[in-house]
Amino acid sequence: MPEEPRTGKIAVIMDMTLFQNEFSPFLKATVHDHIQVFTKTTQDAFLGEAVEHISMLVGGGKRLRPYLSSIGYVAGGGRDRALMMRFGVALELFHVFCLIHDDIIDKAATRRNVATVEAFVQDHLRAQARRGDLSHLAKSHAILLGDLVFSWASRHMCATALLSPLPQTVLDEYYGMVDEVVAGQMIDVDTMTRDEHDEGLLERKMYLKTAGYSFVRPLRLGLRLSGNATEKSLAEMTAIGTPMGLAFQLQDDVFDITSSVDVLGKPILSDIRDGQQTFLTAFVAQHGTPQEKLLLERVMHGSGSDEDMHALREILVTNGAVARAQFRMNELWKSTRHAIDHATFPHEIQEALHALVVALQSRVR
């Protein structure tokens, strides 16, 4: 394992870039060690290459969840840097596990401008002229590699407990997060089979898959890890993380339409063409013309042509769907700032959270 980050008093890292610069090398070194151990276990070059590809996914990302958990930890008076960083590794590895399985569900070929685990394995199986149903077998490998990363995440949660006895409330919060993200993913999959667009259900999905999992839970987990969480401080973190996370997801939905392949790292409208219902598709389903609704159905049912894709993109931009999403985002950012201002955390925590809002609002992906 890589050398633990220095322990003792934390020089408060309330700048996301500074946090990333310290955390990312530690995460990458940790994953490298896991890969080396697993490669020795398999004693097979092909499987070694497959697990090595996980490092490509780990190489990207914003480290939002570890950063937010560190904010929660320091907000509660936590000062053990090694404990905080090890806990962050557990959260980030759980996120990588989610990405691997999410890509399988979405039939995605790229993630962060690199091949998904499934696509990477399938390409290499075909290059070696392997026998059997290579598409299915590549998917099977990806499922297993995702499970492996989940094992790594669990191991680091246990390592955190060895550094400092974890209150049961931390584990309850962590596994509550696991249950929520699975529930959100199941809603996402289920709505792909429905023709009706239920905005209430879509908002619940947005909370479970993004707001709760990526914002509320990490903030609350860090606070609980400090050992000084109160019902009031936990409620304040929920009030901050919920609108921040919902706005973040709406941003992603808009980026899926307005951005480019180079910036997204995947094709535009990829979520919609996979049949995923979003705030924007719900707008067309409820307010679009009959022709626009038929076009949306073709694209979401997988029978849309390239011309249909471009036409739908134009409609979403010009018929008010994007504008409505942006208006809703602005309301959510305002709610986030209000919740930060009225929280009882130290001033440095409020400053860090306000800086994060500014960074998230200005992101291009």
Picking from 126, 145, 165, the residue at the C-terminal end of a domain is 165
Residues 141 and 48 in one domain: yes
Flag whether 354 is in a domain. Answer: yes
Residues 252 and 340 in one domain: yes
Task: State which residues form the domain around 161.
Answer: 1-165
Flag whether 211 is in a domain. Answer: no
Q: Are 308 and 298 in contact (CB under 8 A)?
A: yes
The token pair that represents 353 in the structure block:
């959270």
Residues 229 and 142 in one domain: no
Flag whether 161 is in a domain. Answer: yes
The domain spanning residue 12 has which CATH number?
A: 1.10.600.10
* Tens of pLDDT, residues 3-57: 555 444 454 466 888 899 899 999 999 999 999 999 999 999 999 999 999 999 8
* Contact partners, residue 310, CB within 8 Å, separation at least 6: none
Q: What is the pTM of this model?
A: 0.91
Q: In this model, does residue 62 exceed pLDDT 80?
A: yes
Flag whether 178 is in a domain. Answer: no
Residues 141 and 46 in one domain: yes
Flag whether 28 is in a domain. Answer: yes
Domain count, the chain: 2
Crossing angle of helices 168-191/217-225, nearest 10°?
A: 170
Residues 60 and 132 in one domain: yes
Flag whether 171 is in a domain. Answer: no
- Residue (of 52, 64, 51, 71) closest to 91 by Cα position: 64
> pLDDT value at position 263?
65
What Å distances lie between residue 77 and 14, 170, 251, CA to CA?
A: 14, 16, 32
Higher pLDDT, 300 or 265: 300
Picking from 105, 130, 165, the residue at the C-terminal end of a domain is 165
Residue position matching structure tokens 């899926």: 256
Residues 259 and 320 in one domain: yes
State the pLDDT confidence band at 302, using cuts at 50, 70 and 90: confident
Flag whether 194 is in a domain. Answer: no
Q: Cα–Cα–Cα angle for 34, 36, 39, nearest 5°?
A: 110
Instruction: List helix spans (H) across the chain.
Output: 16-42, 45-52, 54-58, 64-75, 81-106, 117-127, 134-163, 168-191, 199-206, 217-225, 231-258, 261-264, 270-273, 279-287, 290-300, 306-318, 321-341, 347-361
